[in-house]
Amino acid sequence: MPEKSGTKASKEVDRQLDRYRSMRDFSVTAEPSGKSSTGTKSTLPFVIQKHAATRLHYDFRLGWNGVLKSWAVAKGPSYFPGDKRLAVEVEDHPIEYGGFEGTIPKGQYGGGTVMVWDQGTWLPHGDADEGFRTGRLKFELHGAKLKGNWTLVRMGGKFAKESKPNWLLIKEHDVYERGPNDPPITEEAPDSAITGRDLDAIAKAEDHVWQSHVPESHGPNRSRLTLRRKAQSNSAAQSENKSKSKPAPLAAKSSAALSHAPHESIPHFLKPELASEAKSPPAGDDWLHELKLDGYRIQAHINGGKVTLYSRNGLDWTHRMPAIAHALQATAAKSAILDGEVVVLDEQGNASFAKLQAAFDVGSKAQMTYVLFDLPHLDGHNLRELPLDERKQILQSLITQLNDRAIRFSEHIRGNGVEMFSSACELGAEGIVSKKAGSKYCAGRSTDWLKSKCILQQEFVIGGYTLPSDRGSGIGALLLGYHQDGKLIYAGRTGTGFTQQSRAHLRKQLEKMRATKCAFAEVPRQEQRDAIWVKPELVGEVNFTTWTEGGMVRQASFQGLREDKSAKEVVREQAGAIAKPERKSPSAKSAPKSAPPKRSKDEAEVDGVRRGPREQVLVHGVKITHPDKVLDEETHLTKQQLAEYYSAVADVMLPHVADRPLSIVRCPEGSGKPCFFQKHIGPGLPSGIGSIPVKSKSGGKIEQYLTVSKAEGLIGFAQMGGLEIHPWGSRNESMETPDRLIFDLDPDESLEWKRLVASAIEVHDLLSQLGLESFVKSTGGKGIHVVAPIRPERSWAEVKDFAHRFARMMESSNPKLYLTKMTKAARKGRIYLDYLRNEREATAVAPYSPRARKGARVAIPFTWDELKKMTARPEFAVANFAEWKSRLKHDPWAKMESIHQSLTTQALRAVNDFAA
């Protein structure tokens, strides 16, 4: 393929990047086996990047579960089946990196030149998840250079002990294979598959630069929003001028655009253009689609070197975001108005409004990022009459000169809105905003801008609150509403999404706003109980899953206060049909009235839930009677919601629950009423729940214990009001030899979370010294579980004795902090090391299980790196599942099933010697 010019090559790479962004997370399929829900085979992306870093190598990447699974292949792939190419597994990369061809600056992770050597699609043979887990993955490639059947095999023996797992990439026998004397494909086709360039041409062009920023953000999405494209006309100037130099002038293309834009003095403040709600993204190439960001809308004014930052209602917030104001001072513009969203990104790269508010209100040092998407004014010219795509080109040219992490350009794709929306939802994003490419910038609500939301989210007026169940210093729940026809309509409550600090902060604010009368037009009697009314002046942002037939929000989770919104303008948002192009923007005052949707008694199956008669529903084939029965008063969690939650987490929960004796905590009347343990089967069990005969340790009597093997069993527990699931530490097939070693760190209430985290890490480090890899999870309460998988080789007595001596070892080394006796009186300021979870018939709460306590919080697995960064006890609950659902794609305990380690004689001797 002849080499193209640098400009054409750059455009081709841009096209590839847009393509990959539009398919960011399309590797997540309904069935990870490689078949879609319709039964037809679906393909996934793959890319091979030729990488001239410290050493030349080939990065082999397979798109799976929202990331690129990656291996470094030193010699590159070979079509000869006799060549077993060493492939060193490296960290997952973001999907968008698969389209990157350019340079990574020296000093950053992977610094060097990157070429897209090959790309295409791949198809797993069989269950890909099983292949990754067992270390034998068979698949078919359909690339520009690589085709046919291939295998990745993870090496064992000494190679399995390497810090990075070693695999072998092998060509299988088929029509595409070559002989040992045939020319290698890497020599036969050495250049880029998308631009035809060689490595030297790519390095000289400097048209694309990838900023990895690895030291500050690890993980598969660490580079999100950090892709920077150099303007061709500025590349030479940028290489010579650093951040302290005088900014370069705007690109010639931008200057030409300004020539036909009307002159004007810079306006004081522009009413921002707002998006209308849509049921689905619009189709066609006339639309640009951007990720919807959950932050504060900020309008930046640059005038004679002075930067002013305005909130969406015109308040001067410059003092609240000094770093952003400082960064914008380096722009080349004499005067400009920039429009964008200020966000704080979480560990997964998603915008987190809760973290943003904490950065303002609680003094967090979180990094704020200003993501820019429009440019209504520049250098004395009104750009609002120009088409959006032209304004964005000028904007990108303006800010590409800034080398500051605080300023980012809002990337978009043209067309493929449905695909991007689906990918955004899988990533855990709030949704997308679709904008008409040729539209002008218009003040107020517009149908030229349409927002499609993955999670229902809107602002609500706070009209009251309740005290926490323990009568502590914070709040229990907020009472929410919206305006309609001059009245404040009650919309339910939210009792989750708070931190300890935000609960206390809200209580302090609301105490000052107490009112003698209820501001809501009408509140159900049961909802008035324990309510404290306040003046309806504060506005809160809330995530929720749906509206109930009674007009209440379901599974609502508080995100933070909206200081930039007036309570009077809060109405119920309702998605409408996509407006016709010729319709003018409706006034914000003409928002449609919203009546709760009516349901027929029998509806079709939607997302696996078939609505039957009002007294029951089917959740994936399991009958749930009285589906609206509330199981948790604090969050209004219903039986149906619990069933749907168990269905959603079944894939990650079942490996630790299936085919084990189980005990469950049943709360037929809800968590606030008497609950009880059940471990034996009884009459009328729902389908999917089975039994396993267990000989009682006291007397040898045979008893039938509960057990499940499939998702239907978990959903059946919801039908029984089962709010907690506790498995044994052994499987049905090897009941007398446990395969889990569990340490329950149960702290005194007064102990800080950081101290508990440090103790869990100490357990992890000590087990590691004994040759045992361990995993960690919260308990859904105040404690932490450290769990080490072991081969089922030793008896319960041996495992319990080891755990006891291990705990005694820790207690002896620090008796002021640890104790191994259950005495409550002695636990003040200390951590009880509960080793008794390792006793026959003892259980521990399962990962992803709710707890049968008010709030229905969930026991959540973490990576050790995640735990180390946590400064406060995490808040995960069934009620805010929509908020953390994206965690299921990267289960921290997924590796546990593939670890085969023994509780060795040396380990037993080590703790025995200490005890002696």
**What are the distances in angstroms from CA 536 to CA 487, 566, 629?**
11, 10, 30
Q: Identify the three-state secondary structure at position 655.
A: helix
499 pLDDT band, cuts 50/70/90, is: confident
- Of the chain, the end-to-end C-alpha distance in Å amounts to 74
**Distance of alpha carbon 912 from alpha carbon 397, whole angstroms:** 68
DSSP letters for 348-360 = TS-B-HHHHHHHH
Please give the radius of gyration of the chain, using alpha carbons only, rounded to the nearest integer: 29
Q: What b/e sequence results for 605-636 when a residue is b if at least 16 CB atoms lie within 10 Å of its CB, and e otherwise?
A: eeeebebbeeeebbbbebbbeebbbbbbbbbb
**Segment 660-688, tens digit of pLDDT:** 999 999 988 888 777 888 888 866 678 78
**Distance of alpha carbon 144 from alpha carbon 564, whole angstroms:** 51
Q: Which two tokens stand for residue 297?
A: 């809308």
Nearby residues of 138 by Cβ (< 8 Å), 6 or more positions away = 124, 125, 126, 131, 149, 150, 151, 172
* Cβ count near 2 (within 10 Å): 5
* Cβ count near 743 (within 10 Å): 27
**Distance of alpha carbon 62 from alpha carbon 125, whole angstroms:** 14
Q: State yes or no: is 292 an active-site residue.
A: yes
* φ and ψ at residue 803, rounded to 5 degrees: -60, -40
Q: Which helix (H) or strand (E) is 163 found in, with range?
A: none
**Distance of alpha carbon 775 from alpha carbon 302, whole angstroms:** 51
Q: Identify the three-state secondary structure at position 99.
A: helix
Closest by CA to 100, choosing from 196, 234, 10, is 10
Q: What is the pLDDT of residue 814?
A: 92
* Cβ count near 712 (within 10 Å): 19
Higher per-residue confidence, 100 vs 586: 100
* Degrees, nearest 5: CA angle 66-67-69: 135
DSSP structural state of residue 871: -
**Segment 184-237, tens digit of pLDDT:** 999 888 988 887 888 888 888 766 676 554 333 333 333 332 333 333 333 333
Q: Which helix (H) or strand (E) is 914 found in, with range?
A: helix 905-915
pLDDT above 90 for 288: yes
pLDDT above 50 for 153: yes
**Distance of alpha carbon 784 from alpha carbon 760, whole angstroms:** 7
* Beta-ladder partners of 767: none
Q: What is the pLDDT of residue 348?
A: 60
Looking from the CA of 94 toward its CB, the CA atoms found within 13 Å total: 27
- Averaged pLDDT of the chain: 81
| Average pLDDT score over residue span 879-885 | 90
**Segment 519-533, tens digit of pLDDT:** 999 998 888 888 999
Q: What is the pLDDT of residue 160?
A: 58
Q: Identify the three-state secondary structure at position 713.
A: helix
**Distance of alpha carbon 613 from alpha carbon 601, whole angstroms:** 5
**Distance of alpha carbon 156 from alpha carbon 171, whole angstroms:** 20
Exposed (0-12), middle (13-18) or buried (19+): which is 904, by Cβ within 10 Å? middle
Cβ atoms 831, 746 nearer than 8 A: yes
Q: Which helix (H) or strand (E) is 645 found in, with range?
A: helix 639-653
Percent of the chain residues topping a pLDDT of 90? 44
Higher per-residue confidence, 431 vs 43: 431
* Beta-ladder partners of 114: 51, 102
CA 517 to chain CA centroid, nearest Å: 41
913 pLDDT band, cuts 50/70/90, is: confident
The answer to which of 165-179, 207-221, 875-889 has the lowest mean pLDDT is: 207-221
Exposed (0-12), middle (13-18) or buried (19+): which is 679, by Cβ within 10 Å? middle
* Degrees, nearest 5: CA angle 360-361-363: 75
Catalytic residue among 230, 292, 639, 777: 292
DSSP letters for 4-71 = PPHHHHHHHHHHHHHHHHHTTTTT--SBTTTB-TTSSB--EEEEEEEEESSSEEEEEEEEETTEEEEE
- The CA-based diameter of the chain, rounded to the nearest angstrom, is 94
Block residue for tokens 């007064």: 750
Closest by CA to 71, choosing from 139, 3, 206, 165, is 165
| Average pLDDT score over residue span 67-86 | 91
Beta strand 287-291 with 413-414 is antiparallel
Beta strand 273-277 with 444-453 is parallel
Virtual torsion, Cα 860, 866, 871, 872, nearest 10 deg:
-10
Q: What is the pLDDT of residue 914?
A: 67
Q: What is the pLDDT of residue 252?
A: 44
* φ and ψ at residue 222, rounded to 5 degrees: -65, -20
Residue type at 109 in one-letter notation: Y
pLDDT above 50 for 601: no
pLDDT above 60 for 23: no
* Cβ count near 47 (within 10 Å): 29
Q: What is the pLDDT of residue 66?
A: 75
729 pLDDT band, cuts 50/70/90, is: very high
**What are the distances in angstroms from CA 787 to CA 496, 784, 803, 835, 870?**
28, 10, 11, 11, 19
* Beta-ladder partners of 228: 209
DSSP structural state of residue 826: G
Q: What is the pLDDT of residue 578?
A: 43
Exposed (0-12), middle (13-18) or buried (19+): which is 855, by Cβ within 10 Å? buried
DSSP structural state of residue 96: G
**Distance of alpha carbon 840 from alpha carbon 835, whole angstroms:** 12
* φ and ψ at residue 243, rounded to 5 degrees: -65, -25
Q: What is the pLDDT of residue 656?
A: 95
Closest by CA to 298, choosing from 270, 278, 332, is 270
**Distance of alpha carbon 60 from alpha carbon 880, whole angstroms:** 37
100 pLDDT band, cuts 50/70/90, is: confident
Q: What is the pLDDT of residue 207?
A: 63
